[in-house]
Chains A and B, each alone.
Chain A
Amino acid sequence: MSKKTLFDKVWDAHVVDSIENGPQILYIDKHLIHEVTSPQAFNELEDRGIPVYRPNQIVATADHNTPTLNQDQPIKDDLSRQQLEQLSINCKKNDITLYELGHQYNGIVHVMAPELGVTQPGMTMVCGDSHTSTHGAFGTIAFGIGTSQVAQVFASQCLLLKKPKSLRVSVNGKLKNGVLPKDVILFIISKLGTNSGTGYFCEYAGNVFEEMSMEGRMTVCNMSIEMGARGGMIAPDQTTFDYVKGRKFAPEGEDFEKKVAYWKTLPTDDGAKFDLEYSFNAEDIEPMITYGTNPGMGIKISENIPVDENPSFKKSLAYMDFEAGESLINKPINYVFIGSCTNSRIEDFRVAANYIKGKKKADNVTAWLVPGSKQVEAQIIEEGLKTVFEEAGFELRQPGCSACLAMNDDKIPQGEYCVSTSNRNFEGRQGQGSRTILASPLVAAATAVEGKIIDISKQLN
């Protein structure tokens, strides 16, 4: 029998049919939806008189547009409120489970689904959101889709797709002190570029990922799309099974054991061929930071911004008001955001709290800590981290996508820099004219305490 990759195994198990010289019909196990990319799909079905085919395989949450303060009160912005109301109406009408604002399971779609056990190894999952790649951390084929495709999945629980090519990125060795999963993925993207993965589905392999927690793996897979890959996957192992076990929607008892037996067959066979392979040494990775307007424009904090004559590169530096060749160390920073589907899980807040404990936030800094879900928020309080944050002068907000894309009121002002644990540093991403610097929760916490960018490695050692 031919050797198969993890991706091959999961994909092949979901092919309903193939069109000659065309795409395949891929069955979708779980469909996640939120308020921004679903209303037009519901409208389309309604206009065409098509029912939602499998409502019990859809889970909805409100996240992109939700406020992070006073969630118990009516939303002031009319358009945001209407969009959330529309989601509630659509879910009710179509019998779809919705964790709306204020619900104990509400949260960012890519935080709440894994923590509820909706996400399981070997599944196919989609959502009208490019960071759906996050769920690949479980050995799941998970990817973002457009709204027309949301309508297709509503109508048929399937998508028409051409099988992507395979890519494997291996990182082996021992990570240095202070290097977090976010640094690993920012390092990979800085080396490979923002379109290196386009047309591919990526598997992350090597001892660095094997030794990572599920939350770390989610951070890595989350940013696969930032190198262009539709999704990223990590082979399920004991760490995965232990994480899934006992969660609300996880299989139980004998069913769970049966599933585990199947999940154990999923890892890539020895000798399976990938279309493209890259490999890196863990020792070469250091705490990272971005200096430009795409996630590939990253450097080690200790490095200087490169020099490049490309007009798009120069345009990007002009937007950021940085000079080619300069160092970012000691740059004053007035905004820090710890949150987003990349870094808003409990481990991220533990890292931040551990650094912040006994220190004070710099006076010039506005720092927003936004948990990924109600459950993460509850855990922050339970573990006493909220007290640590408040004693240091930090504000813990309520869950949502928040300043990652600034659809709500959490906007970084024009011209200001924000050291952010989110995933995109595009022009104006965090508010018109805002300048985003991507980093790990540790680097973000250190920036908030110092009021400027520091060389965290030096401080730790």
Chain B
Amino acid sequence: MEKFITLQSKAIPLNIENVDTDQIIPARFLKATDRKGFGDNVFRDWRYHKDGTVNTGFVLNDSKYSGSILVAGDNFGCGSSREHAAWAITDYGFKVVVSSFFADIFKGNALNNGLLPIQVSKAFLSDLLQQIESNPQTVLTVNLENQTISVNESDLSEDFEIDAYKKTCLINGYDDIDYLLSKKTEIEAFEKQSV
């Protein structure tokens, strides 16, 4: 897994609540047997009309916005457990998703793929969306070490929570398998004792 320490980037505002994983990556694109290429179809049915033409009204197709931070409405990532959603978002180029609430499974999947889900207050999210929409050149700084997200050249800043173990994993690029394999003796002992 790629390490994550700090990030400075512009952001894309996806001002919609309850974005579910069927929107992030529709089921018909889940037939691949590897992890690559899902970015082509991220938010497919919002990015393109059914006839394949580009939906110019959708924010990812709006050339004034760019960056590797996605700022989304409340309850992001609800629905299916498909990790393809996290793969699609990272494959498209995002490194951070900001929302006022994340669904559990999506959050775990994101962290397992070096994609940082940052949960902020509703008030901060609202200010952030407004700031980006009024000035698409706005640059944000995410500092995982200090657990802060801030808008450059402004007072807008907030601390965020992250599980200490997951923080260490992200900063060092470790994943859970490494840790679990190091605990094989304990796992075998547990199996013996529960029989």
Contact = CB atoms under 8 A, between A and B. Distances in A.
B165 A22 contact: yes
B163 interface: yes
A25 B177 contact: no
B13 interface: no
A383 B159 CA distance: 61
Interface stretch (B97-105, B120-128, B145-153): B97-105
A393 interface: no
Interface in A146-169: 146-149, 151-152, 155-160, 162, 164
A21 B162 CA distance: 12
Interface in A384-401: none
A39 interface: yes
Contact of B78 (A50, A195, A199): A195
Interface in B155-194: 163-165, 175-177, 179-181, 183-184, 186-187, 190-191, 194
A327 interface: no
Given A23-B165, A146-B108, A148-B175, A40 B81 contact: no
Interface string A120-164: 000000001110100000000000111111011001111110101
A67 B75 CA distance: 33
B73 to A, nearest CB: 7
Given A162-B163, A199-B104, A405-B27, A152 B34 contact: no
Contact of B186 (A16, A44, A151, A429): A16
A128 B163 CA distance: 23
B88 to A, nearest CB: 13
A158 B183 contact: yes
A198 B101 contact: yes
Nearest to B28: A407
Given A294-B18, A406-B28, A429-B22, A152 B176 contact: yes
Contacts, number: 178
A160 B79 CA distance: 22
Contact of B33 (A40, A158, A159): A40
B179 to A, nearest CB: 7
A317 to B, nearest CB: 13
Contacts of B31: 36, 65, 77, 79-80, 82-83, 407
Contacts of A39: 33-34
Residue of B26, B31, B75 with most partner-chain A CB within 10 A: B31
Q: How many of chain A's residues touch chain B, expressed as a range?
A: 35 or more
Contact of B20 (A48, A146, A294): A294
B105 A43 contact: no
B33 A83 contact: yes
Contacts of B15: 311
A407 B74 CA distance: 27
A57 to B, nearest CB: 10
A145 B45 contact: no
A155 B104 contact: no
A44 B1 CA distance: 12
Contacts of B165: 19, 21-23, 160
Interface string B14-57: 01111010110011101111110000000001000010000000
B22 A427 contact: yes
Interface string B62-95: 0000000000011100111111101000000000
A256 interface: no
A103 interface: no
B109 interface: yes
B27 A407 contact: yes
B112 interface: yes
Contacts of A243: none
Contact of B50 (A50, A80, A310, A432): A432
A185 B182 CA distance: 42
A41 to B, nearest CB: 9
B103 to A, nearest CB: 6
A315 interface: yes
A157 B186 CA distance: 12
A414 interface: yes
B177 to A, nearest CB: 5
Contacts of B176: 148-149, 152, 159-160
Nearest to B35: A40
A50 B181 contact: yes
A162 B108 CA distance: 11
Contacts of B78: 194-195, 228, 294
B50 A433 contact: yes
Contacts of A77: 31
Contacts of B101: 195, 198
Given A17-B183, A40-B35, A424 B22 contact: yes
Contacts of A25: 180, 183, 186-187
Q: Which 6 A-B pairs have the closest CB atoms?
A: A22-B165, A39-B33, A146-B109, A79-B31, A148-B112, A146-B83
23 contacts: A16-B183, A22-B163, A37-B83, A39-B34, A79-B31, A83-B33, A130-B81, A145-B108, A146-B109, A148-B176, A149-B112, A156-B187, A164-B104, A195-B18, A195-B75, A198-B75, A198-B102, A198-B103, A228-B104, A312-B17, A424-B22, A428-B22, A428-B23
Interface of A: 13, 16-17, 19, 21-23, 25, 27, 36-37, 39-40, 43-44, 48, 50, 64-65, 77, 79-80, 82-83, 86, 128-130, 132, 144-149, 151-152, 155-160, 162, 164, 194-195, 198-199, 228, 230, 293-294, 310-312, 315, 405-407, 414, 424, 426-429, 432-433
